[in-house]
């Protein structure tokens, strides 16, 4: 039996797949229900309005959106910051421009890797060679 401290309230609990205690899990579900109920009546609510009306933190509302529990299709004014540049987005962790920059950087790194391996292959001692010689 694995015991852990709940990261939300600090109480000791039996570890589960959610990673939080049962009381905090119920609290999160109640917060979710409050958000959904408010959004049904106020589809044009912004993130700040929703947070103030339901007393649910912006961080928790953002988590609900990222988990897909709250859809920004039905609430178009709900947006949160890109984790890289801070631009407001409606889904995912990064905006389109940061995503394309990351993809370009990865393509560039993939092109450079074979060249670096060729330069090091002359005198470099590789683990695979060591295992073959034993």
- Give me the pLDDT at residue 117, please: 58
Asked whether the CA dihedral 63, 66, 69, 75 is positive or negative, the reply is positive
> In angstroms, rounded to a whole number, what is the distance separating the alpha carbons of residues 122 and 128?
15
> In angstroms, rounded to a whole number, what is the distance separating the alpha carbons of residues 134 and 58?
59
Express each pLDDT in 10-42 by its tens digit.
999 898 888 999 999 999 999 999 999 999 999
DSSP state of 10: -
Express each pLDDT in 79-115 by its tens digit.
888 889 989 898 888 899 999 999 999 998 888 876 5
- Give me the pLDDT at residue 40, please: 92
Residue 130 lies inside a defined structural domain of this protein: no
Reduced 3-state DSSP string for 40-58: HHCCCCCHHHHHHHHCCCH
Residue 37 lies inside a defined structural domain of this protein: yes
Of 128 and 58, the one with more pLDDT: 58
Domain range for 43 = 21-116
- Checking if the pLDDT of 54 tops 90, the result is yes
Residue 106 lies inside a defined structural domain of this protein: yes
| Number of domains the chain contains | 1
Residue 126 lies inside a defined structural domain of this protein: no
Residue 36 lies inside a defined structural domain of this protein: yes
Reduce the DSSP state of residue 89 to 3 states and report it.
Answer: strand
Can you point out the beta strands (E) in 86-126?
88-89
DSSP state of 130: H
């Amino acid at each position: 039996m694995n015991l852990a401290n709940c990261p939300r309230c600090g109480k000791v609990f039996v570890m589960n797949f959610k990673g939080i205690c049962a009381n905090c899990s119920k609290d999160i579900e109640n917060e979710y229900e409050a958000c959904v109920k408010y959004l049904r009546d106020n589809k044009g609510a912004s993130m700040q309005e929703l947070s103030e009306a339901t007393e649910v933190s912006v961080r928790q509302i953002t988590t609900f959106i990222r988990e897909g529990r709250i859809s920004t299709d039905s609430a178009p004014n709900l947006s949160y910051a890109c984790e890289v540049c801070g631009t407001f987005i409606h889904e995912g962790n990064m905006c389109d421009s940061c995503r394309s920059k990351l993809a370009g950087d990865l393509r560039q790194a993939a092109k450079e890797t074979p060249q670096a391996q060729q330069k090091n292959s002359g005198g470099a001692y590789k683990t695979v060679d060591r295992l073959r010689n034993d």
